[in-house]
Amino acid sequence: MAAPTASNLSFSSSYSISRLSLFQHKKTSFLCTKNSIIKRKCRHGGAVKCMVLEKSSAAEVTRTKKQSVYKLQTLTSWLLKQEQDGVIDAELTIVLSSISMACKQIASLVQRAGISKLTGVHGAVNAQGEDQKKLDVVSNEVFSNCLRASGRTGIIASEEEDVPVAVEESYYGNYIVVFDPLDGSSNIDAAVSTGSIFGIYSPNDDCLLDLDDTTMLDNVEQRCIVNVCQPGNNLLAAGYCMYSSSMIFVLTLGNGVFSFTLDPMFGEFILTQENIQIPKAGRIYAFNEGNYRLWDDRLKKYIDNLKDPGPSGKPYSARYIGSLVGDFHRTLLYGGIYGYPRDKKNRNGKLRLLYECAPMSFIVEQAGGKGSDGLQRILDIQPVEIHQRVPLYIGSTEEVEKLEKYLS
Ligand code: AHG
Ligand code: MN
Ligand code: MN
């Protein structure tokens, strides 16, 4: 019998090469699995033995097979898999891809800000009375352009726009996207971490809103506001991109939290963490303590306790970047609590419900944590205006619950 070689072996469709156990080549036989070939002397009276594994052995081979170190999952292929599995539809896949493109573009602008004279203020004030940085304005344009070009967004609402904008170019999907194009922009000129935050809703005409203050707006603008004012509970997807020592894209589609790191070698986001779970507790707090004297006494007591838990306990560590995305990302991975409380000057705190607090709360809940305004779940709050601010306490479940006890 002629010795079979890899090239002249023929298999029926029910047998794959992983199930072929032994073949001989030049008097040496090989035990073959899909990923390993072990040389072994084989003499069956000079005859070559070729056999297939029993079913159980074949299963063993499949179980032990190793993943190739060259196998990477990109954000694009991951999104397509989600689409195949019915988690999202094709239109949402396109919206998310266009957001990831916007983030790459913003990252490059942030990295080159000093070189291309994009540091400093723009000279205008946004709808919330904040000085806009040049990069706030440019990032808003980049985000809006990418979303419009996707052709799948009906309405977009941004921190940097007075009112939500209807997208005329939309021809399918009509998703509503809320975003903070550049979060932590006060850090830009010092090259400290910043980010972009987004949330995606489907259109909702049932959303109730007191339109008293909007009588100056036309019908289209009113329809936009009504559609955008949805509680975080309705979010279909939320995420953020952090521009830091690495560029990290964190995303939830309501089935866990996934993190992708940009590989600068090929300009693609690569899946680096699956199903992120925030630690149940963590001894790090992130508050702007410069506002301590303006806080409620109950909050002061809570913070005092973190710093001085008594003879038995070790004080918590303070970490505060002043960029929600950066502070939140650390909290998600290490555990602890991030807070932006209301104070005597800012009765509702500083952070915006729609495009900061709700998306981050959706993410943290998907990771097993909590997002609260001190009294209630952030995702349950029905917005009554676009740029509405709410206090935010977010992070490890035990830490947020401990704070809620102090505030109750
Ligand atoms: P933005 O740059 O989008 O206006 O947001 C800034 C926010 C948030 O990122 C950060 O946590 C907080 O402002 C910091 O505020 P303070 O400087 O008052 O601490
Ligand atoms: Mn922000
Ligand atoms: Mn911003």
| DSSP states along 97-149 | HHHHHHHHHHHHHHHTTTTTT--SEEEEE-TTSPEEEHHHHHHHHHHHHHHHH
Least confident piece of the model among 13-17, 90-94, 114-118: 13-17
Query: Ligand 1: does its nearest atom lie under 6 Å from the Cβ of 185?
Result: yes
What is residue 253's predicted lDDT score, i.e. its pLDDT? 98
- Best mutation site among 138, 185, 324, 338 for ligand 1, i.e. most ligand atoms within 8 A of its Cβ? 324
How many whole angstroms separate alpha carbon 346 and alpha carbon 49?
82
Residue pair 39/32 in contact (Cβ under 8 Å)? The answer is no
pLDDT at 47 over 60: no
Looking at all shown ligands, the one closest to residue 139's CA atom is: 3
Residue pair 77/47 in contact (Cβ under 8 Å)? The answer is no
How many whole angstroms separate alpha carbon 325 and alpha carbon 36?
44
Instruction: For residue 159, give the ligand 1 atom closest to its CA.
Output: 3
- CA 366 to ligand 2 centroid distance, Å: 21
Ligand 1: residue whose CA is nearest its atom 3:
183
Q: Which two tokens stand for residue 51?
A: 């056999």
How many whole angstroms separate alpha carbon 43 and alpha carbon 291?
83
What is residue 187's predicted lDDT score, i.e. its pLDDT? 93
What is residue 216's predicted lDDT score, i.e. its pLDDT? 61
Average pLDDT for 295-300: 98
For helices 75-84 and 90-111, angle between their N-to-C axes, nearest 10 degrees: 160
What is residue 159's predicted lDDT score, i.e. its pLDDT? 95
How many whole angstroms separate alpha carbon 196 and alpha carbon 113?
16
Q: Which two tokens stand for residue 105?
A: 């573009």
What lies within 8 Å, CB to CB, of 308 at 6+ separation is 315
Average pLDDT for 334-342: 98
What is residue 63's predicted lDDT score, i.e. its pLDDT? 62
What is residue 226's predicted lDDT score, i.e. its pLDDT? 77
DSSP 3-state of 316 = coil
What is residue 208's predicted lDDT score, i.e. its pLDDT? 36
Query: Ligand 1: does its nearest atom lie under 6 Å from the Cβ of 343?
Result: no
What is residue 5's predicted lDDT score, i.e. its pLDDT? 39
Looking at all shown ligands, the one closest to residue 352's CA atom is: 2
pLDDT tens by residue, 212-253: 555 566 677 777 777 889 999 999 999 999 999 999 999 999
- CA 321 to ligand 3 centroid distance, Å: 15
Query: Ligand 1: does its nearest atom lie under 6 Å from the Cβ of 324?
Result: yes
- State the burial class of residue 208 (Cβ atoms within 10 Å of its Cβ: 0-12, 13-18, 19+): exposed
- Confidence band, pLDDT 50/70/90 cuts, at residue 88: very high
Q: Which two tokens stand for residue 184?
A: 């932590």
pLDDT tens by residue, 159-189: 999 988 888 777 777 899 999 999 999 999 9
pLDDT tens by residue, 4-42: 433 333 333 333 333 333 333 443 333 434 443 333 433
Mean pLDDT, the chain, whole residue set:
85
pLDDT at 50 over 90: no
- State the burial class of residue 167 (Cβ atoms within 10 Å of its Cβ: 0-12, 13-18, 19+): buried
For helices 90-111 and 134-150, angle between their N-to-C axes, nearest 10 degrees: 150
What lies within 8 Å, CB to CB, of 69 at 6+ separation is none
- Confidence band, pLDDT 50/70/90 cuts, at residue 57: low
DSSP 3-state of 231 = coil
How many whole angstroms separate alpha carbon 188 and alpha carbon 117?
12
Query: Ligand 1: does its nearest atom lie under 6 Å from the Cβ of 184?
Result: yes
DSSP 3-state of 24 = strand
